[in-house]
Structure 1
Amino acid sequence: MLSPSTPLRDDYRGRDPRADGRSAYALAAADDGAWQEAAELYQQAIDLAPDWTAAWMGLGGARGALGETAAAMLAYRHALLLDPADLHGASMRLAVLDPTVVPLFASPAYVGALFDAYAPRFEAHLTQGLSYHSPADLVAAMAEVGLWHFAHAIDLGCGTGLGGVALRPSTEALTGVDLSSEMVATARKKAIYDRLAVGDICAFLGAEPVASADLVFAADVFVYVGDLAAILTETARVLRPGGTMAFSAQRCAVGIAVGTDMRFAHAISYVDAVLETCGFAPLVLRAQSGRRENDGDVPGLIAVATRL
């Protein structure tokens, strides 16, 4: 996970070399936990390069680490003004500081860039470092209710293909889609998908034919989606009557929340309600962790639902 002071990408072009030096010193200070020094250095860089989005993000992180919430939020809001596409995930960091302001989803620019950078170490980190097993959990949950064969499955947020590996034995035709071109390139090398696409998952579903899939599968994808109504509505349109939606998510106590890990969590009661609203009947809906972090199970949930 990024530290609170680390910009996702250095996006300033043609800056004053003095600003560059101050930013480099700020990063080093943050790495040492010298947050006051980091904040002062980021402010000096901004004074020299006021349109440098990454420096504003770094300043927000440093102010937040110092407990200066209002100043941190001001910095993140300024970063959003400079970069409405939100490459650095400022909207998510704002939601961590103010739980009453939760975005509908993490920006596609942020998620795509994050996973492009993450792709080379993604699988090793998840499977070895985090003991990740959500795809296998979802396949097992579907088998519990007698679902083990699908004519056409769509793997949303397919990443490098961990879900595809779990689904391939039970699927005649398998489609994968992900925002990250680097992740899709890795998945393509495995030769397990019949079709792969790079793009926003909701937009992808919106372009698919009506009633063209038997299963829509999303393993830990909704950690980057807040309000699930839009994507579940598109899923219901793409699924045949009686088709299956299976997904895992992180879990919170009430509603929707953004955690300090910069991921969305959903309450089981919220998931139950939004599934019903969007035309699904839950077959499996329970608390179940799909990975470990910081020597503990990350609170999670799994859902298997049928399209009415």
Structure 2
Amino acid sequence: MTAPDDELERVYENALELEKSGRLDEAAAAWREVLRLDPDDCGGATIRLAALGEIPTPKVAPAAYVMTLFDQTAEAFDDILVRQLSYDVPNLIAQALREHAPGPYARMLDLGCGTGLCALAMEDLTRDRTGVDLSEDMIEKAAERDLYDDLYIGEIVAFLKDDNGEANWDLIVAADVLPYLGDVTDLFAATAARLNSGGTFAFSTETLHQDAFIEEPYLVNAGHRFAHDPFYLDDALEEAGMDSVFVADITVRTEDGEPVPGHLFLARKF
């Protein structure tokens, strides 16, 4: 049973304030209380606790948290991400594709499509475009661009695994998706299964200095997003039946005026 909204909001705001003020032990206790009041974890308490080192790194961000986060930001998403945080990953992927795997691609699947920035960036590289996102509000914004042939609301791995009669894709894109997913095994396997032979998988990640990954292949960073060891991703791609054909260091966005480092991967199905 979920707590009344006013009680949950009070406890949530208290946890935020404690964390911001550096009272981390008290913050951890407060986030545990948030999680008790909101077992679906719409507020992302699990991710906060992992970032504080209070619990083991989860395999994924809670679906309710991701859906809530993007439903709440859909209306101002482009302004916040592109203009305020200098996010340009879709254009970086499009540039990498033009230079290293130009296609053209008959069918593109945009995983975690958001408001449709990848469809806009890759319009000249693709003919038929399908988008899927967990957030209904994001899908509504993507539909306004009128660049997708089909749009679906749903969890991306479940969508890939669903035998819905669709032919496989020539290009599958996951821009800014892995920061909400730790363990990539299921995603990569499902992606490879739905790629045509020779098809391309393009995605972005966040990362940290290499020493951070001595014990774990992925972790939750201070920005409450998953960061991945590039070597772990390379191994996971190979295990899924794909080869890296291009990897580049990128700046994912800025945060508090500082660049957030990441990688851009292009992989090809064997």
Could you state the TM-score of these two structures normalised by the residue count of structure 1?
Answer: 0.79
Q: Distance in 1 between matches of 2:66 and 2:194?
A: 24
Normalized per residue, which structure has more strand?
A: 2
- Percent of aligned pairs sharing the same letter: 36
Distance 1:61 1:293 in 2: 18
Structure holding more helix per residue: 1
User: What is residue 265 of structure 1 aligned with on the other side?
Assistant: 227
* SS in structure 1 at match of 2:243: strand
Pick the aligned partner of 1:291 from 234, 248, 253.
253
Alignment of 1:124-139 (within 5 A): 124-139=79-94
Give CA-to-partner distance per residue, 1:82-119, whole Å, 9 cap, x none. Answer: 32221110110001100761111111111111111101
> Relative to 1, partners in 2 of residues 1:82 and 1:296: Cα closer, same or farther, differing over 3 Å?
closer
Task: Give yes or no for contact 2:111–2:177 (8 Å, CA) kept in 1.
Answer: yes
Offset at residue 238 of structure 1 (A): 0.8
Q: Within 5 A, what are the aligned runs for 1:135-284?
A: 135-208=90-163, 209=165, 212-252=168-208, 253=210, 254=213, 255-284=217-246
Does 2:28 correspond to 1:73?
yes
- RMSD (Å) for aligned C-alpha atoms: 2.0
1:145-187 superposed Cα distances (whole Å, 9 cap, x missing partner)? 2333111110011111111111222112100011111111011
Q: Deviations over 1:263-282 (max 9, x none)?
A: 11112122112111222100
Deviation of 1:217 (Å): 0.1
Task: Find 2:51's aligned residue among 84, 96, 116.
Answer: 96
Q: Name the CA shift for 1:149/1:168 in 2 (closer, same or farther; >3 Å).
A: same
AA aligned opposite 1:221: V
| Distance of 1:258 and 1:163 partners within structure 2 | 25
Aligned residues: 262
Q: Which runs of 5+ in 2 are unaligned?
A: none
Q: Secondary structure at the match of 1:288?
A: strand
- What is the one-letter code of the residue matched to 2:233? V
Distance in 2 between residues matched to 1:126 and 1:11, nearest whole Å: 31
Write the letter of the residue equivalent to 1:223: P
Query: Whose RCO is larger (CA < 8 A, sep 6+)?
Result: 2
CA deviation vs aligned residue, 1:11-33 (integer Å, no higher than 9, x gap): 615xxxxxx6xxxxxxxxxxxxx
Kept in 2: contact 1:164–1:174 (CA 8 A):
yes
Asked whether the equivalents of residues 223 and 249 of structure 1 are also in contact (C-alpha less than 8 Å), the reply is: yes
Quick one: distance in 2 between partners of 1:237 and 1:283? 18
Q: Return the alpha-carbon distance in structure 2 between the equivalents of residues 237 and 100 of structure 1.
A: 33
What is aligned with 1:112?
Answer: 67
Give unpaired runs (5+ residues) of structure 1.
Answer: 1-9, 14-19, 21-51
Q: 1:268 to 1:103 in 2, by over 3 A?
A: same
